[in-house]
């Protein structure tokens, strides 16, 4: 599926946000489109569990622009990240810093013992909109907008991991 067709499919699901539409994500380009729309839908918080701040889905220009636009919604808007490995600032964090919003992004490193070899990665906004990648070694992920049950479970999982993670500088 072309990126334009995929973008239209994701946009339609995001606009409905009915909690029942499932969109599949199979490529890094699709992951970037999903991240962009999750930031667009977010109102208060986006929580991300990923390999690193240099995740290709986040280091996309449109994704970074959507993240900055989300953070500009108000002083309450924030991004919390749990990363499997510490890294220097990637494009995503650099663009947020250039917009003067770096203070609204928290990054914590999760100990490898908590993740295991096949731990999932995910992104959840406001406990309602999410992208869930069951196996971090595979690209396939499922996406829903408006699902408070699954989004809430991911948010709870994120916060439990965050309590055990170490903040970065």
Interval 53-97: pLDDT, tens: 888 778 888 999 999 999 999 999 999 999 987 765 678 889 999
Over residues 139-153, the mean pLDDT reads 94
What separation, in Å, do the N-terminal and C-terminal C-alpha atoms of the chain show? 40
Whether the per-residue pLDDT at 132 is higher than 70: the answer is: yes
- Tokens read off for 97: 């810093």
18 contact partners, CB below 8 Å, separation of at least 6: 145, 146
Counts for the chain of helices (H) and strands (E), in that order? 6, 8
Burial of 69 by CB count in 10 Å (0-12 exposed, 13-18 middle, 19+ buried)? middle
CA 125 to chain CA centroid, Å, is 8
Instruction: Give residue 4's pLDDT.
Output: 86
DSSP-assigned letter for residue 103 = G
Whether the per-residue pLDDT at 155 is higher than 70: the answer is: yes
Whether the per-residue pLDDT at 119 is higher than 80: the answer is: no
How many CA within 13 A on the CB side of residue 85?
Answer: 6
């Amino acid at each position: 599926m072309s990126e334009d067709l995929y973008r239209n499919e994701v946009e339609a699901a995001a606009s409905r946000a009915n909690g029942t539409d499932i969109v599949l994500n199979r490529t890094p380009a699709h992951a970037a489109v999903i991240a962009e729309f999750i930031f667009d839908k977010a109102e208060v918080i986006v929580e991300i569990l990923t390999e690193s701040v240099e995740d290709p889905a986040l280091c996309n220009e449109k994704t970074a622009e959507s993240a900055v636009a989300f953070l500009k919604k108000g002083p309450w808007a924030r991004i919390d990240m749990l990363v499997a490995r510490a890294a220097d600032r990637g494009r995503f964090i650099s663009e947020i810093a250039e917009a003067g919003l770096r203070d609204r992004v928290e990054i914590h490193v999760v100990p490898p013992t908590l993740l295991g070899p096949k731990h999932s990665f995910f992104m959840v906004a406001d406990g309602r909109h999410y992208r869930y990648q069951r196996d971090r070694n595979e690209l396939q992920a499922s996406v829903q907008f408006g699902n408070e049950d699954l989004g809430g479970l991911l948010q709870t999982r994120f916060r439990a991991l965050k309590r055990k993670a170490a903040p970065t500088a």
